[in-house]
Amino acid sequence: MYNGLLHAHSGLRWIALALIVWAIIKAVSGWTGKKEYQKGDRIAALLALIFTHIQLMIGLGLYFTSPKVSFESGVMESQILRFFTVEHSLMMLIAIALITFGFSTAKRMEDSIAKHKRVAITYGIGLLIMIASIPWPFRGLGSGWF
């Protein structure tokens, strides 16, 4: 079960990242071009939101089954255990909360430009946090590209 969750989480990250980038591009284009917030803009933001939440659910499953997560004393002394137990988990929660906040508040706004701006900023900051907290292979945390 652990390996299946790990492969799903690692592979689906690319879809989630691509959808977030797509939503940001649409939002920035709408914001700077002063365009109406249309159904396509909402769908892009919604799909990015859905996939980040799917990643969250899979990540929670991994959090409680992974050998890289530990609640024993000394966890902060191990770079790998600290990263997966604290850093990755906390930063991803913050990023997903920002994306969720951005979508839900933009949905209730009346002004199209304000909607685009809200999505662009919150999804953009969320994306930066995600990129900083992904266990990329070059970080030496025992993870691969997929």
Rounded-to-integer distance, Cα 82 and Cα 65, Å: 16
Nearest to 31 by CA among 130, 100, 109, 101: 109
Instruction: Please state the three-class secondary structure of 84-142 as a single string.
Output: HHHHHHHHHHHHHHHHHHHHHHHHHCCCHHHHHHHHHHHHHHHHHHHHHHCCCHHHCCC
Q: What is the DSSP letter of 1?
A: -
pLDDT at 141: 74
Rounded-to-integer distance, Cα 24 and Cα 44, Å: 9
pLDDT at 145: 61
Per-residue model confidence as pLDDT tens for the chain (146 residues): 888 999 999 999 999 999 999 999 999 999 999 999 999 999 999 999 999 999 999 999 999 999 999 999 999 999 999 999 999 999 999 999 999 999 999 999 999 999 999 999 999 999 999 999 999 888 877 666 65
